[in-house]
Amino acid sequence: MKINIYYGGRGIMGDPTLTVLKRMQEVLEELRVDVKRYNLYEEKRTITSLPGTLNDTDGVILASTVEWLGLSGYMVEFLDACWLYGNKEKIAEIYMCPVVMSTAYGEREARLKLQSAWDLLGGKPLEGLCGYIEDTVTFELNKDYMAVVEHAAENIYRTISQKRVTLPASSQAVKKVAAAADPMPLTPQETEQLSKYASDENYVQTQKEDIRELASHFRTLMENNGASEEDMIISGFKRAFRSQENLSATYQFKIKKLPKPLALEISPAGLSVEYREIENPTLFCKISSEKLNEIMNGRKTFQRAFMAGELQIRGDLKMLLALDTAFPFGGEN
């Protein structure tokens, strides 16, 4: 038998819920139950992946401390994750014992919320424990109180061992209605994988950046009558180009956010501009698309961008001056 404990408090000294959980765990381990505890305040960065830990359990203890107003935020976040990413078929087989100790008012209401939440998830809620504890030391030394805690732990063990049947609840009908609005049904394996991605901050930030880039790309298409940013850059260089009799040079532009480098080849015969690699360019330039856009709109020159640290170059510095001469974008010369 395996039972997981999910503690939603802050882990502070004197928290009566920790006292209750310690004694319950001791009793269950004496009964040869495999007990694993998850402190949600320690798992706050990966709470969305914790529903995956329910898949191999027979029962759970959801424990929270009421310090001023209801359930802790960590516990609410964990229950949200169970609704979004949990394997509902597995949760339907799991017995849940709520444990709510209070140093303020509202322990009964908080216990009821835990029972209602687990019921709505499809699981099997038990009566559990709740109480108002004014002094943790006095509470721990009270043998009668500890006997109540031990009895609750033994009741969990007996209930799971005997697989006691619970009557159906009306909340299951609500669950069917709420779940019917889900447009993307997932298998338990897909749900577990998705929960891991959701808890990975680097993955989430990468996805947000990709969305921003896509939004910027489509905004550019709309503003330029369907022309992409890459096409606008090429047409901008072609329009601004002024032929120079004695200038022969190649420029390689590495523009941030664009997938391919821009190649400029200038000769007395004219200009060639396209996206490709150049071997040993006369001048290599690295710049962001935003700063290049400022130059092409005439708000500054390549030389001014270099002096401001917005343009990085490698090669013949004299070719930087020639670049402003060949492409006078109507800005500062």
DSSP state of 184: S
Residue 257 region by backbone torsions, left for phi larger than 0, else alpha for psi between -120 and 50, else beta: left
Termini Cα distance of the chain: 80
Architecture of domain 2-198 in CATH?
A: 3-Layer(aba) Sandwich (3.40)
CB 297 within 8 A of CB 263: no
Any idea where the domains of the chain sit in the sequence?
2-198, 229-326
Per-block mean pLDDT, blocks of 10 residues, the chain (333 long): 96 94 96 96 92 94 92 94 92 96 93 94 94 93 95 95 82 58 55 62 70 60 60 89 87 90 91 92 92 89 91 89 87 45
Which amino acid is it at 68? W
Output Rg (C-alpha) for the chain, integer angstroms: 32
Q: Which amino acid does the sequence have at 124? A: K
139 neighbors 87 (Cβ within 8 angstroms): no
Write the single-letter amino acid at 282.
Answer: T
Q: What is the pLDDT of residue 256?
A: 87
Do residues 329 and 291 touch, judged by C-beta distance below 8 A?
no
DSSP string, 222-279: HHTTT--HHHHHHHHHHHH----TT--EEEEEEEET-SS-EEEEEETTEEEEEE---S
Token pair 């269950």: residue: 28
Contact 40, 6 (CB under 8 A): yes
Does domain 229-326 fall under CATH 2.40.30.30? My reply is: no
Q: Where are the beta strands (DSSP E) in the chain?
A: 2-7, 34-39, 59-66, 95-102, 124-125, 129-132, 249-256, 262-267, 270-275, 283-288, 311-315
